[in-house]
Amino acid sequence: MSRLIISLDVDLGERSYPIYIGQDLLKDADIFRRHIASSQVLVVSNETVAPLYMQTLVDTLQGFTVEQVVLPDGEKYKTLDILKRIFDRLLEKRFDRGCTLIALGGGVIGDMTGFAAACYQRGVNFIQAPTTLLSQVDSSVGGKTGVNHPLGKNMIGAFYQPRAVVIDISTLDTLPARELSAGLAEVIKHGIIKDADYFAWLEDNMKYLRALDAEALAHAVEGSCIIKSRVVSADEREAGQRALLNFGHTFGHAIETGMGYGNWLHGEAVGAGMCMAARMSHLLGWLTPDEEARILALIEAAGLPTAPPDLPPSRFLELMSVDKKVMAGQLRLVLLKGIGKALISDDFPMEVLRQTLESYSA
């Protein structure tokens, strides 16, 4: 296969930026140079990804003053305390406002590096170089950055856009199968909420994706980035439609918080959460049994859980109520009126939510 580079644009007015998708892009000096503002570059990665790809990227950045910060790997390190290490290095090395931060890793590294870039001297450049499927199709696009708080996920953060997103799909070759599945959760989500044809394509191609077929992966990443960037362009700060991207996430966050961060992968929790949202949509009479079954089947084919862990419904409700999607006490959920047709609703009987939760605790 010839070397494939797809380039998309996220349209956000003066904050617009390109997404590059292709093989071996971490070796592409031209792409990185185009989006670095001065000689000072800090690459932030973690203990898992750095041994695999840091040297490749540092070699690509020859000619720049490159510093490295390697953080411990895992959602539980996505905290203000660990974030400080990035600020410490930037200050120790006297990096100025013209510097560029590059996030080399998954969603945690992207969120933390982006938040550090948003806050350092009130905002410096950054580039996302996501190395997991989840971060390639989800967190690297859209400008959400931040860290967790012991009482809630992503509670401290900023909306901050990168200068560019460089998606090297070759990095998926080293991704554990469980994490590939977790990324597929968001890919499937994009189909479910916005695009029935893309959903059908995923049904046909799930086996190729799981076998790491490069062409299939590039197509899936492109499709997901297009859907996500369209939604984000229309609603950068989540005043309305952007909340559709939270499909499965209110349930999913409750699972993650209830089980302790990191025990379930985010994508696994979202997989189960999407099944719960589909179940609830079905119980509301909005989704046919066949549509619910197709959703469950695709999530299962991706190697994801289709039901939540054993948490009492009362605990589940409690966990859902600290979610950011709660406005003035009223719970809002993303629900379905069909595959490709999601909506945001606070107009449902609480009874149906309870029924949904109870259907799993039999």
Q: In this chain, which stretch among 103-111, 156-164, 203-211, 298-306 interacts with a second copy, using CB under 8 A?
A: 156-164
Identify the residue among 1, 211, 328, 362 touching a second copy (CB under 8 A).
Answer: 328
Q: Does 327 bind a second copy (CB under 8 A)?
A: yes
Smallest gap from Cβ 323 to a second copy, in A, equals 9
Smallest gap from Cβ 332 to a second copy, in A, equals 11
Identify the residue among 51, 63, 72, 123 touching a second copy (CB under 8 A).
Answer: 123
Q: Does 239 bind a second copy (CB under 8 A)?
A: no
Residue 128 buriedness (CB in 10 A; 0-12 / 13-18 / 19+): buried
Q: Does 152 bind a second copy (CB under 8 A)?
A: yes
Q: Does 122 bind a second copy (CB under 8 A)?
A: yes
CA angle 157, 147, 300 (to 5 degrees): 110
Q: Does 201 bind a second copy (CB under 8 A)?
A: no
Q: How many residues bind a second copy (CB under 8 A)?
A: 37
Identity of the residue, 162 or 303, whose beta carbon is nearer to a second copy in the bound complex: 162
Smallest gap from Cβ 254 to a second copy, in A, equals 14
What residues numbered 24-53 form the site for a second copy, per CB under 8 A?
A: 38-39
Q: In this chain, which stretch among 88-96, 188-196, 286-294, 344-352 interacts with a second copy, using CB under 8 A?
A: 88-96
What's the token pair of residue 362?
């039999």
Smallest gap from Cβ 185 to a second copy, in A, equals 22
What residues numbered 241-300 form the site for a second copy, per CB under 8 A?
A: none
SS (H, E, C) 266-328: HHHHHHHHHHHHHHHHHHCCCCCHHHHHHHHHHHHHCCCCCCCCCCCHHHHHHHHCCCCCCEC
Q: In this chain, which stretch among 42-50, 133-141, 293-301, 321-329 interacts with a second copy, using CB under 8 A?
A: 321-329
Q: In this chain, which stretch among 166-174, 179-187, 213-221, 319-327 interacts with a second copy, using CB under 8 A?
A: 319-327
Identify the residue among 87, 201, 208, 261 touching a second copy (CB under 8 A).
Answer: 87
Beta pairing partners, 6: 21
DSSP 8-state class, residue 331? -
Q: Does 155 bind a second copy (CB under 8 A)?
A: yes
CA angle 185, 178, 207 (to 5 degrees): 65
Q: Does 196 bind a second copy (CB under 8 A)?
A: no
Do residues 160 and 72 make contact, with C-beta atoms less than 8 angstroms apart?
Answer: no
Q: Which residue has the tokens 């379905």?
A: 336
C-alpha Rg value of the chain to the nearest Å: 20
Q: Which residues contact 24 (CB under 8 A, 6 or more apart)?
A: 3, 168, 170
Q: Which residues contact 87 (CB under 8 A, 6 or more apart)?
A: 116, 119, 120
Do residues 126 and 133 make contact, with C-beta atoms less than 8 angstroms apart?
Answer: no
Identify the residue among 15, 159, 261, 317 touching a second copy (CB under 8 A).
Answer: 159
**Alpha carbons 115 and 41: distance in angstroms, whole number:** 16
Q: What does the binding site for a second copy look like in residue numbers (CB under 8 A)?
A: 38-39, 80, 84, 87-88, 91-92, 94, 96-98, 118-123, 144, 146, 149-152, 154-159, 237, 321-322, 324, 326-328
